[in-house]
Structure 1
Amino acid sequence: MSKVGTRLVAAVIAIGSLSAVSSAQAADVVGLSVATLANPFFQGMTRGVQDGIAAHPDLRLINTSANGDANTQTNQVTDLINQHVSALILNPINANSIVPVVKEANRKGIPVFTLDRGAACGGCQVNFLETDNEALGKEGADFIADQLKQRYGSIKGNVVDLEGLLGTTAGDEREKGFSTEFEALQKNNPGLKLVSKQAADFDADKAFNITTQLLAAHSDIDAIFNGNDDNAVGAVRAIRQANRAEPIGNPKHIIIISIDGTEQALSDIRKGQIDGTLSQNPVTMAEQSVKYVEAYLHGGKASIPAHQFWPHMLITKANIDSADVKAYGLWGDEMSK
Structure 2
Amino acid sequence: MSENVARRGFLVGGAALLAAGCTSNEPAAAPTSSAPAPTAAAGGNDQPGDRVVIGFSAPAADHGWIAAIAKNAETAAKQYSDVEFKPVEPTNDINQQISAVESLIAAKVNALVILPNDGQQLNQVALQATAAGIPVVNLDRVFPNKLAYRTWIGGDNYGMGVAAGHYIGEQLKSKNVSNPVIVEIQGIATLPLTQERSQGFADALKEYGFSVTAKQDAAFTVETGNEVATSLLQAHSKIDAMWNHDDDQGVGVLAAIKEANRSEFIMVGGAGSANAMREIQSGTSVLQATVTYSPTMASSAIKLARLIAQGKGMSDLLEKQVPQSITLASETITKDNVADYMSLGFES
* Both structures adopt the same fold (TM-score exceeding 0.5): yes
1:3 CA drift (Å): 7.0
1:306 CA drift (Å): 0.7
Greater fraction of residues in helix: 1
1:266 CA drift (Å): 0.9
TM-score (norm 2): 0.74
2:142 to 110, 118, 125: 118
Q: Secondary structure at the match of 2:184?
A: strand
**Contact map agreement 2:31 2:63 (CA 8 A) in 1:** no
**Contact map agreement 1:204 1:230 (CA 8 A) in 2:** yes
**Contact map agreement 1:229 1:265 (CA 8 A) in 2:** yes
Instruction: Output one character per residue of 1:207-235: Cα deviation in whole Å (capped at 9) or x when no partner.
Output: 11211222222222322212221132221
Match of 1:57 in 2: 81
Match of 1:157 in 2: 180
**Contact map agreement 1:127 1:305 (CA 8 A) in 2:** yes
Q: 1: distance between equivalents of 2:223 and 2:101?
A: 29
Q: 1: distance between equivalents of 2:202 and 2:95?
A: 30
2:258 to 230, 235, 240: 240
Match of 1:278 in 2: 291
In structure 2, the CA distance between the partners of 1:73 and 1:268, relative to structure 1 (3 Å rule), is farther
1:154 CA drift (Å): 3.9
Q: 2: distance between equivalents of 1:43 and 1:53?
A: 16
Q: Aligned pair 1:220/2:220, yes or no?
A: no
**Contact map agreement 1:161 1:225 (CA 8 A) in 2:** yes
1:4 to 32, 44, 55: 32
Match of 2:309 in 1: 297
TM-score (norm 1): 0.76
Match of 2:229 in 1: 211
Q: 2: distance between equivalents of 1:35 and 1:169?
A: 19
CA RMSD of aligned residues (A): 2.9
Q: 1: distance between equivalents of 2:312 and 2:271?
A: 31
Q: 1: distance between equivalents of 2:267 and 2:281?
A: 13
Matches within 5 A, 1:315-330: 315-321=333-339, 326=340, 330=343
What amino acid sits opposite 1:300 in the alignment?
Answer: K
Instruction: Output one character per residue of 1:72-99: Cα deviation in whole Å (capped at 9) or x when no partner.
Output: 4334333333433332111233332332
1:180 CA drift (Å): 3.2
Match of 2:269 in 1: 258
What amino acid sits opposite 2:98 in the alignment?
Answer: T
Match of 1:86 in 2: 110
Q: Aligned pair 1:229/2:247, yes or no?
A: yes
Gaps of 5+ in 1: 9-25, 247-251
In structure 2, the CA distance between the partners of 1:36 and 1:277, relative to structure 1 (3 Å rule), is farther
Match of 2:220 in 1: 202
Q: Secondary structure at the match of 1:308?
A: strand
Match of 1:331 in 2: 344
Give the number of the structure with larger relative contact order, counting CA–CA contacts within 8 Å between residues 6 or more apart. 2
Q: Which moved more, 1:71-80 or 1:200-209?
A: 71-80
Instruction: Output one character per residue of 1:134-186: Cα deviation in whole Å (capped at 9) or x when no partner.
Output: 212111111121222233x145312222223467675443233223334x34x
Q: 1: distance between equivalents of 2:94 and 2:234?
A: 34
Q: Secondary structure at the match of 1:275?
A: strand
Identity of aligned residues (%): 26
1:68 CA drift (Å): 4.3
What amino acid sits opposite 1:233 in the alignment?
Answer: V
Match of 1:21 in 2: none
1:4 CA drift (Å): 3.3
**Contact map agreement 1:93 1:168 (CA 8 A) in 2:** no
Q: Secondary structure at the match of 2:117?
A: coil
**Contact map agreement 1:95 1:168 (CA 8 A) in 2:** no
1:28 CA drift (Å): 3.5
What amino acid sits opposite 2:78 in the alignment?
Answer: A
